[in-house]
Amino acid sequence: MFEVFGVSSQVLFGQLLIGLINGSFYALLSLGLAVIFGMLNIINFTHGAQYMLGAFVAIFLLQYAGLGYWWALLIAPLVVGATGIIIERLFLRWLYQLDHLYGLLLTFGLALITEGVFRNYFGSSGLPYSVPPSLQGGQNLGFMFLPNYRAWVIVFSLTICLATWFVIERTKLGSYLRAATENPTLVRAFGINVPRMITLTYGFGVALAALAGVMAAPIYNVSPQMGANLIIVVFAVVVIGGMGSILGAIVTGFGLGLVEGLTKVFFPEASNTVIFVVMAVVLLIRPAGLFGRST
């Protein structure tokens, strides 16, 4: 045990760990938003609701099918991603020719519907979801206690983020995606089915949100409004990082989680608002965002 600025290492690293955990979710969610925005030019306001759906699918799987965490980690993103594909085919595809703001309004409406339905059946109180047996317990690192599940969340979300970055920036499929982002008409002329790519991209972005939801289920309570407040913070993260860069979204997500954790230690009153303050400062200094290209 040692002290930093009068704060015990236990407290400091404990909050930094929580910061990293929150950062994992910021990174996963803002990554999904960035991927979707890149292809569809739509800011997916439903993202928070889809994160919540992921957590609820995990609960349903446990209750009705007896399938535990690991199955949920696989099935929930597929199920929620499929609903995303349906949403894209039914609603979003009519909006691509219109102003971007209509996409925001439509997905906001979908978020209201989803969260309203769940609040109606599950109230506002949360449901518990237990940590899988294989990840219970923790390690004593000397300066702090590290629960296994939290370590897993950080490592796994970092892996997913980097894998997504690798697919988009370093593979052939990713190069199609990036090309279609730049000039969809030209890419179609090369015989690539761009509309299908758009649909699958939305499904993938939504699946990422659901994956984050399953990972969050054992840490936070599973409740209908778990995504509503989170998504606003993630919007701020996206504004800070700029949506131009995948790696930027990941770095900003984790970084801001840490900033939030540090604030909790040294100035707890501001921990709710620090990310918004950072956003305001970044906008004043670098309006395009830390990793953004000015538009």
Partner 1 sequence: MAAVEQMGTTAGPVRLWSEPVAFAAMVLLLVVLPAFVYPVFLMKALCFALFACAFNLLIGYVGLLSFGHALFLGWASYLSAHLAKVGQISVPYWLGGWQWFVIPLPPLPPELAILGGAATAALLGLIVGAIAIRRQGIYFAMITLALAQMMFFFAVQAPFTHGEDGIQAVPRGRLFGVVDLSNQTNMYITVAVIFLGSFLMIYRIINSPFGEVLKAIRENEPRAISLGYRTDRYKLMAFVLSATFAGVAGATKAIVFQLASLTDVDWPMSGEVILMTLVGGLGTVFGPVVGAFFVMTMENYLTAIGQWVFVVQGSIFVVCVLLFRRGIVGELAHRLRVRL
Which residues form the interface with partner 1 (CB under 8 A)?
A: 37, 43, 91, 94-95, 98-102, 104-106, 108-117, 119-120, 228-229, 232-233, 235-236, 238-239, 269, 272-273, 275-277, 279-280, 283-284, 287, 295
The least CB distance from residue 179 to partner 1, in Å, is 22
The least CB distance from residue 223 to partner 1, in Å, is 13
Nearer to partner 1, 88 or 115 (CB): 115
| List of residues 6+ apart from 255 with CB closer than 8 A | 23
CB distance 85 to 200 below 8 Å = yes
| List of residues 6+ apart from 56 with CB closer than 8 A | 118, 122, 213, 222
CB distance 260 to 17 below 8 Å = no
Nearer to partner 1, 32 or 77 (CB): 32
The least CB distance from residue 39 to partner 1, in Å, is 14
Backbone φ and ψ for 263, nearest 5 degrees, come out as -60, -40
Nearer to partner 1, 1 or 285 (CB): 285
Nearer to partner 1, 70 or 94 (CB): 94
Backbone φ and ψ for 160, nearest 5 degrees, come out as -60, -45
Nearer to partner 1, 24 or 271 (CB): 271
The least CB distance from residue 266 to partner 1, in Å, is 15
The least CB distance from residue 47 to partner 1, in Å, is 12
